[in-house]
Amino acid sequence: MGRTYYVEEDIGQYLSDLSTKFKPYVTGLLIGQCSSQRDYIIRAVRTPPKEEQKEGNTSPSKLESIDEEWINAHASQVSRMLPGGLLVLGVFIIATPELSKDSQNALRKIIFSIEKSLTKRRLWKPAEEEVSDRAALQVCSATKKIVCRTYDVQDPKSSAKPADWKYQSALSASWLSLDCTVNVNIHIPLLATSPNHDLEKNIKNGLNRWSKQIEDSIFLINGQIKDDTELLEGQKKLRGNTQYSTQISDIKVLTQLSQGSSHRSTATVQVCSGSINLKGAVKCRAYVHNNKPKVKEAVQALKRDIINTLNDRCEILFEDLIINEGPHKKNFERVYHVLPQRLFVPFAGSSVMLSDYKFGDEAAGEIQERFVEMLDQSVQDEDIHVPTCAQSSTVITDTLCTQGIFCIS
């Protein structure tokens, strides 16, 4: 028996509109959440057209011309804008009947290409029991016929399996939101033998070690350590399609100082030429569906958001430095950098908010343009919410030869 995707009703109209605007085909991403029981699609986003395509709203006439690199770049950017619990859960293609025959092969290639691209960036590993099926949605622009199949991205030889595509109104109107603030103080030594003091590589290695601490950490929800029970056990459940989610904000993260005798390691002495400190407070958020969610699902979503948001900020910072300073610039003095700040934006009919990152000098107009390009969503100034942390004024200090202090908020 194949998987069943419960899909936000508005997505049907969105796909129908795309079929009339873009010829002969248009591709895009499916955003949602998977669980052992059900899979949810709450958002569909078309692939942004390239500059030469914007005026005529046309794509190359053959599917062989699909630019996988462009689609991968879009998926990477969108994945940064997803809070914990949400992921790129599949892809879609809307094509004319003449191209329908080859559409499924094209979707398969895109799905595996995106998964490979996203996996490279992750600092966490999927759990053994985690759902690894991804959706491939094919829509005929003439007949509007929908064919949904899945592929197991953990199996390169995976063949297509049939899947059900079921629309549901107000699907994400009352999802559960989990919020926490995590204090970060990561010390990363720079080895004297490290060639050219590769700042980005050293920070990546340091974040890898830190991410393992987060994955092994203990989460207190409302002051309790809960086992794999229902998240809402003992709480009054929501009734009706309210526009607001239940928010669980009393969450504390406890990192373990010792991992037990089986994880003991031998201390080593290394000659270092400097060090980096990532220091500050990080606002983290995850969402889980409201169909008897498990504590394990919620904690996993929040852990990944903690890891992703810090990793994404560092990547964005280095991309900005390369653009503004060039890839070969070396600074052998103490430097302070402020990591981009996180913000959240709601979308209509849902309690789920999407996120993005902004530097201090970035105008609201730039954020609005990014949402239109990446998520095909118009955003008003008043819709941009920048959360504050009690510790957000903490400065990130960094002390290495080619390094800087990284401020998080």
* Contact between residue 4 and residue 36 where contact means Cβ atoms under 8 Å apart: no
* Contact between residue 160 and residue 151 where contact means Cβ atoms under 8 Å apart: yes
- Domains of the chain listed by start with CATH number: 4-168 (3.40.140.10), 176-408 (no CATH)
Q: What is the mean pLDDT of residues 21-34?
A: 92
Tell me what the pLDDT averaged over the chain comes to: 83
Res 400 pLDDT > 50: no
Read off the pLDDT of residues 324-342 as tens digits, 9 standing for 90 and up: 766 555 444 567 788 889 9
* Chain position carrying tokens 């949402």: 371
Nearest to 275, CA basis, from 185, 338, 190: 190
> Which range, 148-162, 177-191, 195-209, 330-344, has the best average confidence (pLDDT)?
148-162
Beta strands in 339-398 (DSSP E): 341-346, 353-358
Sign of the CA dihedral with 399 first, then 401, 405, and 406 last: negative
Nearest to 377, CA basis, from 393, 354, 400: 354
Predicted confidence at residue 86, as pLDDT, reads 97
* Contact between residue 205 and residue 298 where contact means Cβ atoms under 8 Å apart: no
According to DSSP, the residues that pair with 92 across neighbouring strands are 28, 137
Task: State how far the alpha carbon of 61 is from the alpha carbons of 22, 27, 65, 96, 141, in Å.
Answer: 11, 13, 8, 10, 14
The CA radius of gyration of the chain, in Å to the nearest whole number, is 22
Q: Quick one: pLDDT band at residue 405, thresholds 50, 70, 90? A: very low
| Predicted structure pTM score | 0.87
Task: Compare 180 and 64 and report the one with higher pLDDT.
Answer: 180
* Contact between residue 143 and residue 97 where contact means Cβ atoms under 8 Å apart: yes
Task: Compare 98 and 402 and report the one with higher pLDDT.
Answer: 98
Read off the pLDDT of residues 286-325 as tens digits, 9 standing for 90 and up: 999 988 888 888 999 999 999 999 999 989 988 888 777 6
Q: What is the mean pLDDT of residues 213-238?
A: 78
Nearest to 332, CA basis, from 386, 274, 396, 281: 274
CB-count exposure of residue 306 (10 Å: 0-12, 13-18, 19+) = buried
